[in-house]
Structure 1
Amino acid sequence: MSADVNFIGLYLLARGAVEPGQLQEAVRVQRERNRRIGALAVARGLLTEEQVEEVLAAQSREDCQFGDLAVRRGHIERGDLDDLLFSQNVTNMLLGEVLVELGHVDPETMGALLDEFAALEERRGDLLGRVLQGQAEYVVTRAMLRAVGTAFPRFLGISVKADPLGRVPEKAGPGDFRCSSDLDVEGMGCFRFTFLLRSDILSGMAGDGPADGLSLVNTVMRYARGRLARRGLSATCAGARPGRVDWPVDGAAMRLVTPAGAMALFWVAPWQAEGAGTE
């Protein structure tokens, strides 16, 4: 199954609403029709390819929408961005809409299945919230989950969702990437995040796997720091350290699953600060 298939597509497949070939066709049509803001801007002569690359590079340092960054950097006017966003909203289609348009699923059935999926996701979110609520590092872990949920689709083109894993770490396999990074939150103390990225995830990234894995984790940490800042919590972040790491004995463990089944893990635990500096 293509890595472009999302969680909703897999749910429809599991419920027998679509055949694998129909789902793949819908994914292909959706990919051909849906265009990112940068691509639309280049097609209309509003941005150059070089400017798009510059804004994308800036996104790895700051959790901000592409269009907003382009406006702030003076590459595009706000009015032009609004026009692009309107066009994108009109032309882009959700997977369910494509399947209905292609005649693979009727609208009533699709509506009922999407309601089922939404209810399941709501229950999963409630369970995750109850698990996190009882932990001292709740705010920090929640910020990290949201940071991962933004960075993975943005830079890998894949969606992720989290489920509690428990306190027993899984062993790394051949080609997997491990690293750790410290986040020192004012008034709360220092937290160590330990990451394990499966090789299937790294294989979808350009360039050297471990180096890209390190860059991805550093971006996630910056995003988490920014989300904490929006809650009025100041934090400093030490750069991620690759290689063999010590799994925390205590703390919250989270499993992040992609539609393709590839998995990332992270643990967060209170930690004795070791001179964590800004990254």
Structure 2
Amino acid sequence: MRKIIAFLLFFVAFLSGAEKFSPSLGIFYDEQKANLGKRLFFDKRLSNGEKKSCETCHNLYWDFSGSIRKNSDRNLLNPPSVLNAATNYIFFKNGSVRDISEQVAISITSDIQLGIDEQRFVAKISDISDYRSLFGKIYSDGVTFKNAVNALVEFERAIYTASSPFDKFLMGDKNALNEDEKKGYEIFQKVGCVACHSGVNLGSNLLQEKQFYKNVLSGNSVSDKTGQNLYKVPSLRNIARTAPYMFDGSILYLKDAITHVADLQLMQKLSKEQVDLIYKFLLSLNGEHPRILR
């Protein structure tokens, strides 16, 4: 019975995912608020100890990843990219938050992130004359925690990477992908990657349990706690820019990540040619640099 249910779940997910690719066209944002949020995002003075900013873990200039490579060397969580995160509706590794404003607020106050309480965060901003002036011009009630969070969210809306080759392909330009990329896209769908990586961000829209399908379909015992250890499926947008891979940053190269996930999740032993073609398809998910970062 478990096998039948698992097959049905996988089949439904596969079919529904295949229907849900949509191009990344960009989203509206308030430019004044976004530019204010950009300043907050890069400002180390606003953290506890004044040694880190949002950008410390979510790099946007050095390699344009929206993540950072250093954490895995220190046995820390591999931060997800903030590029295109504004269109996600699942946040954090366990998917515990479904609203980006709540995610930003938690990231500011979390001990393992900026680590500063709301009152001190507002006080630090208020002590800087440029910020007092900007907040006063943009928000009728000036510097508040809610307004600071709103400005950061608008900045995240602005760092949206639209117009990738894959987006152009989805919009009808059949020459936007070369033949190898098209073959990779076909394999991506055929082997079942689409069951989890669908939607506008090809992920970040559902939770999945590691090895669930592999355990069920191979006849391995499945814990009674199945469903309790769910993890957010990461977005594949700009995936070639966001090494290392996995939540712990344990895999450095994208081709190795493709091979690992295919075996772990799909029970697929991909050939070198298949891996190479999927890799070429994933390269087509790199979008244009957002205007606000140029």
- Normalised by the shorter chain, which TM-score bucket? under 0.3
Per residue, is there more strand in 1 or in 2?
1
The structure with higher relative contact order (CA 8 Å, sep 6+) is 2
TM-score, normalization by structure 2: 0.27
TM-score, normalization by structure 1: 0.28
